[in-house]
Structure 1
């Protein structure tokens, strides 16, 4: 007997240093038993922003082992859903052609925040909160679609 594999959810952003990793961590925590979550960037920064790691640790999610990846790594994988999280109009987030589910939920890039250390952290927390609201709601929808399985 074979068991169906979990669908791959792909979260795409430009730099793959903040928003996409926060979304990946939050969605994995909320629905990781139903799906496999990946993130990557169109122009990866090459690191995961330390403040993104910190603000997720504050809510009990550890993304300290995440690495910044190029979207090309995933072009041959069977991706069920692509979610882009770029917020600024000047950022080009491509869509994977031929995929069934496409969503765009734009968030501002907290890596562009300026000010004191605490002011920048406030911005990271604000964006984390927005991402959390959207991706936990998405996870709740996935659970409902799966018959409420926990």
Structure 2
């Protein structure tokens, strides 16, 4: 008897340097091997926002080695759930996918104090997503 397929989630924002990186990091940590995680940007930045790296380090998540990735049609096709964060019409649409749009402030150009509440909001949303997917979050 084969085990059910692991759900795949793609987080998309414009630069793949802040919100989508934080969401992917939380889902990777909390979902473990029960979920496949991708993130990408419609116009990727050169590097991940340093305030985002620092904000995640405060909660024990190291994304210092991550680099922004370009959004591809293949990534969307390979995902069950596509969560957009402010990329609007730049996100490709394919029938049969589940799309969610998370309205979140963009951490670009902001310091650590402004990034922390965005980080915490993303963590809450990721925990909610895991519950919707029927996956128990790791502690």
TM-score range, shorter chain: 0.7 to 0.9
d(CA) in 1 for partners of 2:96 and 2:11? 13
Relative to the length of structure 2, the TM-score reads 0.85
2:121 is the counterpart of 1:130: yes
2:47 is the counterpart of 1:47: yes
| Larger Rg over CA atoms | 1
Q: 1:56-110: per-residue Cα shift (whole Å, max 9, x none)?
A: 01011111221111112734752111000128xxx54424312421100111111
Q: Any unmatched runs of 5+ in structure 2?
A: none
2:10 is the counterpart of 1:13: no
SS of the residue aligned with 1:37?
A: strand
Structure number with higher relative contact order (C-alpha < 8 Å, ≥ 6 residues apart): 2
Q: Any unmatched runs of 5+ in structure 1?
A: 114-119
Contact 2:30–2:137 under 8 Å retained in 1: no
SS of the residue aligned with 2:69?
A: coil
Q: How many residues align?
A: 138
Q: Could you say what the CA RMSD is over the residues aligned between the two structures, in angstroms?
A: 2.3
